[in-house]
Amino acid sequence: MVNENQVSYIDLFAGCGGISLGLHNAGLNGLFAIEKNPTAFETLQYNLIDKRNHFDWPEWLPTTCYDINDILKEYRENLSSLKEVDLVVGGPPCQGFSMTGRRNESDIRNKLVSSYIKFIELVQPDTLFFENVRGFTVGFLKGKSRGEAYSEKIVKELTDHGYNVEAHVLDFSKYGVPQNRKRFILIGSKNNDPKKFFEQIEKKKSKFLKDKGIPKTNTIHDAISDLERKHGEINSPDTPGFKAGKYGVSTSKFQKLMRKNCDLEHPDSHRFANHRQNTIEKYEYILNKCESGKNIKKSVKESFGTKKRCMKLLDPNEPSPTLTTNPDDYVHYNEPRIMTVREFARIQTFDDSYEFKGKYTTGGKMRKLEVPRYTQIGNAIPPLFGELAGLVLNKF
């Protein structure tokens, strides 16, 4: 049930629930979450509705996956009659804006910015927390003049609708996340100066991380060394024919935080890929011959017959590069394999009690339709940053 003294929020484009997990940990009240993909919503529902009873879901809205445009069409009156919604969080899917993939202005997902604005018009929340990739701030035209970026368009739209707006690109590695992940963060507020949000997260982050018991900077080794294959393996509990990993001893404060509220005997979603022998040999060569933390040379990639633009050997002593939705972009720092779903989740700061649903991977044309576990995590807002943001927004 809703605590009237706490901020209430709606999560748009919720994915598997990263920002909602953070806001739950910060003590905010969830009203409902909108997510189109069935498997991403299954993960959110299992963890935040079934296990944590986080949302005070309205009776008029079935607890299922929804496209935002269907919500706008079918429940327009219900949305406009919502009273005193404090906060709307989330941002449209980022693939068309991303600087790491192929940028595409005509990507239909980019049009969801307009749907977002329509939702805000109907609900009229006091405050907005909007997140997207750094490429959201870059126009699509070639040359020095890149044209108007979507970030400029949304700032103008929200200003026209009566919001004070402030936006910055933040690097989540500065807030305890073991990953160099730069994201566009926009705060809109009807009654407050949104600059105060950015001032407050800087002011509060040191105490926040101290209270969590972790340092400001966490490395890949800090995040996942207790999940290495050398700690032992079992038959995968959810995929016949695969092996999964066991827990090793926690050797960092970050690992202890991630395992703090987990009562599972073995890590969830810690299934190792069934690499072919030639793939293992390729990764062993990379481990022995390539420089960690750097993009593997084109000549080496060509010798392996891969056309991947980005492929790196992870550096255990640094935060991870930005996680994408594709696990074979990165080679584990001391084992000839890609990272597991659980290792992805650790680097995104999902604690070990958060269990993922659906396929592990997908490929080909299905990439645009399916949202397997790696993709769910790669698209998420790190819950640790979401919690810090929630603590600030709860007092905003």
Q: What is the DSSP letter of 317?
A: T
3-state secondary structure of 128: strand
Assess if residue 176 is contained within a domain: yes
Q: Give residues with Cβ within 8 angstroms of 256, minimum separation 6.
A: 213, 250
Counting Cβ atoms within 10 Å, is residue 115 exposed (0-12), middle (13-18) or buried (19+)?
A: middle
The active-site residue out of 16, 94, 262, 310 is: 94
Contact predicate 380/18, CB 8 Å: yes
Q: Number of folded domains in the chain?
A: 2
Query: Could you list the residue range(s) of the whole structural domain that residue 133 is in?
Result: 8-214+381-393
Instruction: For residues 228 and 148, state if they share a domain.
Output: no
Instruction: Provide the pLDDT for residue 2.
Output: 52
3-state secondary structure of 15: coil
Beta bridge partners of 341: none
pLDDT tens-digit series, residues 374-388 = 999 999 999 999 999
Whether 2 maps to a domain, the answer reads no
Q: What DSSP assignment string belongs to 202-268?
A: HHHHHHHHHHHT--S---HHHHHGGG-GGG-EEE-SSSTT-EEEPP----SHHHHHHHTT---SS-T
Q: Are residues 291 and 335 in the same domain?
A: yes
User: 62 in a domain, yes or no?
Assistant: yes
Do 59 and 195 reside in the same domain of the chain? yes
| Residue 205 and residue 242 in one domain | no
Task: Let me know if residue 369 belongs to a domain.
Answer: no
pTM: 0.93
Active site residue 94: yes
In a shared domain, residues 202 and 240 = no
The sign one gets for the Cα dihedral 174, 178, 183, 188 is negative
What confidence tens digit (pLDDT) does each residue in 287-330 have?
999 999 999 998 888 888 887 778 999 999 999 999 999 999 99
Q: Which helix (H) or strand (E) holds 10?
A: strand 8-12
Within this chain, do residues 61 and 210 fall inside the same structural domain, yes or no?
A: yes
145: pLDDT strictly greater than 60:
no
Q: What is the CATH number of the domain that holds 107?
A: 3.40.50.150
Residues 136 and 70 both lie in one domain = yes
| Same-domain status, 127 and 276 | no
Task: Say yes or no to pLDDT of 105 above 60.
Answer: no
Q: Does one domain contain both 207 and 229?
A: no
- CATH number for the domain that contains residue 312: 3.90.120
Asked, for residue 374, whether it belongs to a domain, the answer is no
Is residue 118 located within the same domain as residue 52? Answer: yes
Q: Are residues 344 and 227 in the same domain?
A: yes
Examine residue 270 and state whether it is found in any structural domain, yes or no.
yes
At 37-68, the pLDDT tens digits run 999 999 999 999 999 999 999 999 999 999 99
Q: Can you tell me the mean pLDDT for 334-349?
A: 99
Residue 112 CA: distances (Å) to CA of 166, 210, 245: 21, 38, 39
Q: Are residues 204 and 252 in the same domain?
A: no
